[in-house]
Structure 1
Amino acid sequence: MYCYARPSHAYLNLSPGLDFETKLSVKTNFVETLRSELAKPGYRCSPINIGSNTDAYQPIEKRWQVTRAALALLSECNHPCTIVTKNGLIERDLDILASMAERQLVQVLISINSLDNRLASKLEPRASAPHRRLQAVKALHEGGVPVGILVAPIIPALNEGDLEQIIERAAANGANCVGYTCIRLPHELKQLFREWLAQHYPDRATHIMSLIQQMNGGKDYDSQFATRMRGQGIFADIIRKRVQVAARKGGLHEAWNRSLDTSKFTPPRMPSPQGELF
């Protein structure tokens, strides 16, 4: 319900509410388009992030396998990427990811924001359960794939109590880094999230929104680039320090610090009606 990608549906003339949860779009020509872009003479290789706006391993991926096909192409071209997901389905592609990891081409971040299954089932009803995500961290680590976690989003007075334990358990399962974000409520999301709080947590809805506003200069959402991901003020500072202390105890560095190799990139060859001589 907190997903900042919900307003993206408005660009498709769909609602950020029910339509976001029930009407999904598939880029069926994605791999062909990606191949064409990577093959352009002016293309310059830099790591591509997969999963920025919506999860690349949500349930629909089981059928369409767009993400797997994209990874296969990136691996073929020695193109580095980073991946953010909340779903254990990523283990399906461990064969590709392990091969890419051997060439320093991939970093995975598993998003875990709670260890409470009851809260997770209300907040993220179609994502993998928290324990399943920790299993994915372990499987990726044991497969040789660099994997960290994102505690995202942190919602004050709702899931922030699990922060230290999430980082501790992630470290125990092989995570190598940690990052975090605080909840963002842009555009229509403000009202949707308020309605969700009133339905599921009426006893603390007012308190939660008050803390969110304290972290956003008195507003439900502050779009300033420098602060919108982590908030500002006393409560935001406390969260930042808690993450830093827990990460230090777990021996985890800050997410995205891992350098990926762009030097091996080889542009893909486009299909030719004349075939290939060599």
Structure 2
Amino acid sequence: MNECDGLAEQFEAQRGRLQAVAYRLLGSPNEAEDAVQEAWLRLGRTDVGTVDNPAGWLRTVVTRICLDMLRARTARREDLAEQQVLDQISEPVQGSQPEERALLADSVSRALLVVLDALEPAERVAFVLHDMFAVPFGQIAPILERTPVATKKLASRARHKVRGTPAVSADELARHRQVVSAFLSAARAGDLNAILAVLAPDVVRRSDPAVLPPGAAAELRGARAVAEGTALLARRSQLAELALVDGTVGLVVAPRGRLLIALTFTVEKDRIAAYEVIADPARLRRLDLAVLAE
């Protein structure tokens, strides 16, 4: 076996794990693949005889590449966010790409990716490596150019953001979750009767104009009108997931791991009294999003 074959074998042995790390750090299958490919190129330019731990070296390289990408993304987010949302709303929603479905099947929810995307780059790296891949803080700290103690604090702060703080009691949160879950299941199926079953008779739906078809009303009133409008969005509902939105049970739509739409709900007497569809980038940025615990 020549040196090139040996490098390829070491890299391929780690590719799946590297891809998993990069996907959780970046939330994009394409960007994750780019990061892993860049790590392969750097490996080819490195004297592997000086590398004691190839697996750890590759993970560190991939993480540093992802960190640079996250920082660059943060710097340009304000400029690109609105156009990204408008572009995605205009595209037909036909489900995830095969590579995204494969990665999502690996226990990564879109809701988690959305919440991770709201973290600062250093927080995201510390949380993902430690909490999701059990990498010791002593190994993460040099990547972030922080002390292990400071890195631990970053992960703790990120963990608090990911978990969030419910604005209602545990019992009320559980009841709201049951109602919103039933609504989501009915919306995905396009089942008009099932949607009607979870709506209050005088329910109100409000939507940001950007998410509506031309000529559609921004506000709908009454269970029948709201249910019919909801049923029309069955395909987009396939990409929705439960999340904690401003402390209560809501939904997020993130077809590429980036927040596209958020839905907030008012639940009264185990029925949905109102819900709002938020797509405006400025409004989305102001939302407090967290993962809804099982």
Q: How does the TM-score come out when normalised to structure 1?
A: 0.26
The structure richer in helix per residue is 2
Q: Which has the larger radius of gyration?
A: 2
Q: How does the TM-score come out when normalised to structure 2?
A: 0.25
Structure of higher RCO (CA pairs closer than 8 Å, 6+ residues apart): 1
